[in-house]
Chain A
Amino acid sequence: MTNWTRRQICSMAGGVLAAAAAPHVARSQNKPRVVVIGGGIGGATVARYLGDLKTMDVTLIETKRRYVTCFFSNLYLAGLRSLASLTFGFEVLTERHGLKVIHQAATGVDPGTKTVTLRDGVRLAYDRLVVAAGIAFKSGEIRNYDASAAEIMPHAWNAGPQSELLRRQLESMEDGGVFVIVAPPDPFRCPPAPYERASLVAYYFKQFKPRSKILILDAKDRFSGQELFQEAWGRHYPGMIEWLPRQFTGAVKIVDVAARSVVTEGETFKAAVANIIPAQKAGAIAEKTELTDASGWCPVDPVTFESTLQRGIHVVGDSIIGGDMPKSAFSTNSQAKACAFAIAASLTGSQQFPSHLFNSCYTFLAPDDAFTNAITFTPEGGKIKTVETFISKVGESAEVRRRTAHQAVGWYSAFTADVFGEGS
């Protein structure tokens, strides 16, 4: 009797699948074309997972040669990680994951002819397009806050040069100064991040500038993880962080760049360093392609992530209306996989599995104190709904929090390897 190994059985099953997919294999000279605009977490994940299937021509369009993760960039601001450790290239994706990367801006999309135009005028034809445009800032919500104001009062809400600018300002700030964080209205990228930023900058101040204060002027009356943050602020940084809700200040209306102050309805606050995180909307190319609705975000089918406004175009990540899913990197990654498998099913007839959507986030309160959440989601009635939630609790032991902070570091390595490839 033959002893069949698992490998042999798998390869036979593979043979059967290959036979089933034969009509497409025969077209290998003319594989279905997928173009992905945006090489952040969403775009890179879709491209990698489609590229791995080797049944489609996958082209990723991204202006930058290096991507810096927003997640963990608050650790950089506190001097706890280098920016280099948060920076990834696309070489592993192109060498090992069967995709092509073009480092150029996509200037336009024509859904009629199914083409993408690049800055140099080249047109790329697609069978399916994925737009992973990330976020843009709403203009006019805070008067005087524009791109040039952001060179003085950084947002640091896209990691990279803006993070470096904010870090330099915090380093050169004198002890006793006030660091003002203007927190945005919902919905926005990474809901706990403004408060994680306050926590980690407080950690930096506590060591090097202990008389300094942090003032958060919020456009909201509540925020994500509020109880966990406020408990930790009392424990680690007593008296250092003050949070003022919208109902108290009436929210920030104007910035005075020269005076480095921010003006609310009732009062002007002078800052030594000001971090203005503006209200957000879907990234520019999503808006230009008319993938956005009146909310400024992109409505999508929660199973395939195909736009409900433009057929043949899928949208993943921070720019979608994600229902219960927060705008987070991990959510984006999970959406991108569901989207990739839906595209593969539609273009190559591969099997479509029920979608499982997840979020997993780690938030630092101090270097050895982090909290986590893990949430599962499911598409239901055209929307994404929460199934189950786990979140760290107030009053957990220092040991539990230390372990969570340790897990976060492993999470980061595994997660970025999933997106940009092992060894990237």
Chain B
Amino acid sequence: MTTPVPRVMVPGSVSRHEVFPIKAIIQHEMETGLRTDSTGQVIPRKIINGFVCRYGSVEVFRADLHEAVAANPFLEFYLRATESGRLEFIWQEDGGAIYSLSHEIVVT
């Protein structure tokens, strides 16, 4: 398995009430559980099944992902800036592993 590497792209500063884009990607094979390996054994499912973005303590974006999502799932969504704060990004993997990143955003 690839070691999942998460990455986000967020503007460093935005003006108050500005709508700004966030891009999030994680290097992940998204193993569907439907394939067999070289010995004919089924390779167990291991996908990123959920993604959450929090702004401070408030959840502002959530996505549930399923087997049909391609490898290296890429998400792009928009937020509206209200005040400076910490954005937190969390990817949840089958089996309970969590990958996360955080990013300070300055609202001017």
Contact = CB atoms under 8 A, between A and B. Distances in A.
B5 interface: yes
Interface stretch (A136-144, A243-251, A339-347, A378-386): A243-251
Contact of A244 (B25, B37, B38): B25
Interface string B1-35: 11101010101000000000001010101000001
A15 interface: no
Nearest to B5: A242
Q: Would you list the 4 A-B pairs with minimal beta carbon distance, nearest first?
A: A239-B3, A234-B2, A397-B38, A266-B9
Interface of B is mostly: loop
A395 interface: yes
A245 B74 contact: yes
22 contacts: A226-B71, A233-B2, A234-B1, A234-B2, A234-B29, A238-B1, A238-B3, A239-B2, A239-B5, A242-B27, A243-B27, A244-B25, A245-B25, A245-B74, A247-B76, A266-B11, A266-B23, A267-B9, A394-B35, A395-B35, A396-B38, A400-B38
A238 B29 CA distance: 12
Interface in A199-235: 226-227, 230-231, 233-234
A229 to B, nearest CB: 10
A245 B71 CA distance: 12
Contacts of B43: 395
B72 A243 contact: yes
B71 A230 contact: yes
A398 interface: yes
A248 B29 contact: no
Contacts of A242: 5, 7, 27
Interface of B: 1-3, 5, 7, 9, 11, 23, 25, 27, 29, 35-39, 43, 71-72, 74, 76
B29 A230 contact: yes
A266 B103 CA distance: 15
Given A226-B71, A245-B74, A248-B9, 15 more contacts: A230-B29, A231-B29, A234-B2, A243-B27, A243-B72, A248-B23, A249-B9, A266-B9, A266-B23, A267-B9, A394-B35, A395-B37, A395-B38, A396-B38, A398-B38
Nearest to A239: B3
Given A230-B71, A248-B9, A395-B37, A238 B25 contact: no
Contacts of A247: 23, 74, 76
B72 A245 contact: yes
A230 B74 CA distance: 16
Interface of A: 226-227, 230-231, 233-234, 238-239, 242-245, 247-249, 266-267, 394-398, 400
A266 to B, nearest CB: 5
A404 to B, nearest CB: 13
A394 B30 CA distance: 14
Nearest to B11: A266
A13 B81 CA distance: 85
A245 B24 CA distance: 11
Nearest to B8: A248
Contacts of B71: 226-227, 230
A401 to B, nearest CB: 9
A382 to B, nearest CB: 34
B25 A248 contact: yes
A211 to B, nearest CB: 14
A238 B3 CA distance: 6
Contacts of B3: 238-239
Contacts of A245: 25, 72, 74
Given A247-B74, A267-B9, A238 B2 contact: yes
A405 B94 CA distance: 35
A398 B39 CA distance: 11
A234 B11 CA distance: 31
Contacts of B39: 397
Nearest to B39: A397
Contacts of B23: 247-248, 266
B39 to A, nearest CB: 8
B45 to A, nearest CB: 15
Given A247-B76, A395-B35, A230 B2 contact: yes
